[in-house]
Amino acid sequence: MSISINQIRDFSSLFSRSEVIRLLKNDFASFDIKLERYNLVEKNKGNSYLNVLRKTYKVLEKNYPNEYILKNGLINQWLIDELGSGNSVVFNEFRIGNAIADLAMFNGVSKAFEIKTLLDKEYRLSNQLTEYKKVFNEIYIVVPKELLSKYICYDNTIGLIIYDSEISKFEKVRESQFNKEIDSMVLMNILHTKEYKNIVKDYYQDFPLMNAFNQFDICKNLISKIPNEELNKLFIEAIKKRNINNSFSKKSYKEFNQVCLSLNLKAQEKDMLINNLKTNII
């Protein structure tokens, strides 16, 4: 496919949350507008929207590895295998204090992944990593291979994964150093009320008297006294109990794993999306 950068950018938006929500409703109006804009209707008549999207994904992999491509590729090539090895869960855009990790994974340890594309600036990175270190055991920066020299000297405690768009492959070039520290105050602002109350109950085997007005302060004080190693385990177990649908596929329709994670789609909803996309272009 020989297409302009404007067309590539335009079609990349088809993998956005808002566009996929429309597709879930069998609304192809925006999709059709893009096809018409680049005189692609006649060329694709009788073809399915699904086939066009999958071809678009391949073009993006080679020519426009944006955040969606890097996130989706990381899920497909790294995280699915780890998910299959035990009781694990992956989150899209996990908030920690004033920062948001692009992807976060919890199994036996907690891992944060910060993705930097060729278009991203690094001015916020130092603050982001400082926040992640307050709760995560392992932290990785994921970058295109062209940026390796830029990030290889950046905080050697942080793991580094590079992406080669020519062969659509990820490679870990540096392991993350394991972080044993955990900031209980930051943790309190991540946890839901039920979660931090359960942590107190699980650790102390008792539950002090409290009400809606003082429960946060009481639990914060008690949680601050839990040893780091034990608190880390309790935190990971609490997060893994959240209602997150990791309905990923390693082989079929893997182009849509990231947007399904972003929208927290159940397996049945993902199937509905694929069935809708099998509609032929007329």
What does pLDDT average to in each consecutive run of 10 residues of the chain (282 residues)?
84 97 97 96 95 96 94 93 79 94 95 92 89 97 94 93 93 96 95 97 92 96 97 97 90 94 95 97 94
Contact 112, 90 (CB under 8 A): no
Which residue ranges make up each domain of the chain? 5-64+250-277, 68-174, 184-240
Structure-block tokens of residue 133 = 């270190």
* pLDDT score for 81: 85
Inter-residue contact 105 to 79 (CB < 8 Å): yes
pTM of the model: 0.93
Give the model's pLDDT for residue 85: 63
CATH code that applies to domain 68-174: 3.40.1350.60
Q: Quote the CA–CA distance of 167 and 62 in Å, as a whole number.
A: 8
Q: How far apart are CA 3 and CA 56, in angstroms?
A: 10
Question: pLDDT at position 17, please?
Answer: 96
Phi, psi of 210 (to 5 degrees): -160, 165
Interatomic CA distance for residues 221 and 203, integer angstroms:
13
Q: What is the pLDDT of residue 61?
A: 93
CB 240 within 8 A of CB 88: yes
Chain Cα centroid distance, residue 134? 19
Q: What's residue 84's pLDDT? A: 65
